[in-house]
Amino acid sequence: MTAEQREAVFVPSVLTADGVLEGLGIYSTEAKALEVLRDTLRERIAEGLKEAQLVLWELDAADSEAIPLKHMLANLCPVCRQRTFWTDAIEMSALCYLSSCQAWIEDSDIEEDRVDCGWPPIGFTSQSESLAEALSVLRIYGAKIRGSGELAPAEEAEEMLQHFETGQSDPTSIREP
């Protein structure tokens, strides 16, 4: 039996704040295993998970070793400043799993050697030359929004950002009473 013909299983897991590696099951498809992993990251935000991974194991193979497909590390989000920004060390991508933020970074699908980033609450997207530049862009937008108070609902956040971009220092000053 060749490697291409071997059956495989997909195993997601998380590393807790206490350093305990927790398996999240064994799945026959990568899509289902990834769905379980992502749902776990969303549902367990308050637990302070440190790492998450998804590995592939080939069945019935004496020489089989786990093949890492994703290895994600929890970081501070450049926008909301919560430890909910999961950076994948294998694929160049990152996503904030806090539902009110969801800032993201990934390799550009359109231009090679470019990095895309965005912040869905205001429909903001940007293209950068490097990961460091994309993080900087998101940090700047996050600082502008945080500087106006707290992260607000999408409509308020967009309005505040427009005022900052036009150079108005106090976005609340033009609101109607």
Q: How far apart are CA 13 and CA 28, in angstroms?
A: 15
Q: Measuring CA to CA, which residue among 89, 160, 175 is closest to residue 119?
A: 160
CA distances, 171 to each of 38, 138, 149, 159, 168 (Å):
36, 20, 11, 8, 6
Pair 91, 69 in one domain: no
Pair 103, 27 in one domain: no
Q: How far apart are CA 102 and CA 80, in angstroms?
A: 9
pLDDT of amino acid 6: 65
CB neighbours of residue 71 within 10 Å: 15
CA–CA–CA angle 30, 73, 135 (5° rounding)? 110
Mark the ranges of the chain whose per-residue pLDDT is less than 50: 1-3, 151-154, 168-177
**What is the chain's mean pLDDT, rounded?**
82
In a domain, 2, yes or no: no
Task: Express each pLDDT in 22-56 by its tens digit.
Answer: 999 999 999 999 999 999 999 998 898 999 999 99
Pair 48, 116 in one domain: no
Last residue of a domain, one of 57, 75, 93: 75
Domain extent at residue 152? 82-177
Pair 23, 94 in one domain: no
